[in-house]
Amino acid sequence: DLIVMGTHGRSGFNRVVMGSTAEYVLRRAPCPVLTVRPDAAPFGEGPVLCALEFEDADDGVLEAAAGLAHALGTRLVVFHAVEPIVLPAPYAVEMGGLGLDELVRGAREALAERLTSRPDLPVAMESLAEAGMAVPSIVETAERMGAGVIVQGSHGRRGLGRALLGSVAEAVARRAPCPVLTLRRGARPLTVSERDALTGARPISRDDWSSTIDALSLYAERDPWEVSVSVVGGGADGDVFAGAHLRGLTYDPHDDALCIMVDGA
């Protein structure tokens, strides 16, 4: 399901001469790969940064990032870098309507629309689009927000295509200040079990109440959720509260009592 490996983060002459086992695996692995540099920040101790290309929509990158953020009990920031288009001066003048500011504005709107269209994902998502070259923009954003992990897609190019176009994914894995989860296009997706995801409106077995409530309380301590609670059945239908920040839950199996702690209640 997942390969976890270290990387030396070599660059320049040393990388050309010695090559990189990690990059070789990133291009060929049949499943997602988590790479960790020797000086990387601890895994998961910070928000999840999803470096998203718009063409990654069908490759499970966003889904994996959302599931990971949910499992870690942290927030998810979805980031897109708008790379400047460098053209000769005459063409640049003629294409004045496609200025960088307009491209960034369009990217922000498209990214926000993409996230709004995915209410099924189990975590609140923030969108961020900035102008800049992809690799330094992703690395600098991860440093600035103290990311605990970067999630990214990869085309898995080899040969001439990789030599001419380079690889953003491999460069990010070499330079990132935190662990990097890379999902190569065509590889198996990263899956999260239903019990671990704690998603969706579904009945929870009484035997699982204690463990589920403990997990929810842990997430609430790290990053308070907005929750709504309603009573259904037993002649007591109706909303208890809506949109309150969850602070924790306790369950007493002897009294069969659930205590829900939220801000202002």
Rounded Cα–Cα distance for residues 110 and 202 (Å): 31
Torsion on CA atoms 232, 226, 66, 144, rounded to nearest 10: -170
Cα-based distances in Å from 23 to 9, 20, 29, 50: 10, 5, 10, 20
Rounded Cα–Cα distance for residues 242 and 264 (Å): 12
Instruction: DSSP letter for 257, please.
Output: E
Whether 189 contacts 62, CB under 8 Å: no
Q: pLDDT at residue 258 above 70?
A: yes
Rounded Cα–Cα distance for residues 162 and 159 (Å): 6
- What is the per-residue pLDDT across 3-28, written as a single tens digit (0 to 9) for each? 999 887 665 555 544 347 888 888 88
Residue 106, classed as helix, strand or coil, is helix
Rounded Cα–Cα distance for residues 86 and 107 (Å): 18
- pLDDT range class, residue 91, cuts 50, 70, 90: low
Rounded Cα–Cα distance for residues 52 and 63 (Å): 11
- The pTM is what? 0.65
Whole-number pLDDT of residue 34 = 94
Closest CA to 159 of 8, 24, 21: 24
Closest CA to 190 of 47, 71, 51: 71
- What is the per-residue pLDDT across 192-242, written as a single tens digit (0 to 9) for each? 544 444 444 445 666 667 777 777 677 666 666 677 777 776 666 677 777
- pLDDT range class, residue 134, cuts 50, 70, 90: very high
Q: Please state, for a pLDDT cut of 70, what percent of the chain lies above it.
A: 69
Contacts of 58 by beta carbon, 8 Å cutoff, 6+ apart: none
- What is the per-residue pLDDT across 18-75, written as a single tens digit (0 to 9) for each? 347 888 888 888 899 999 998 898 888 889 999 988 765 556 888 889 888 888 888 8
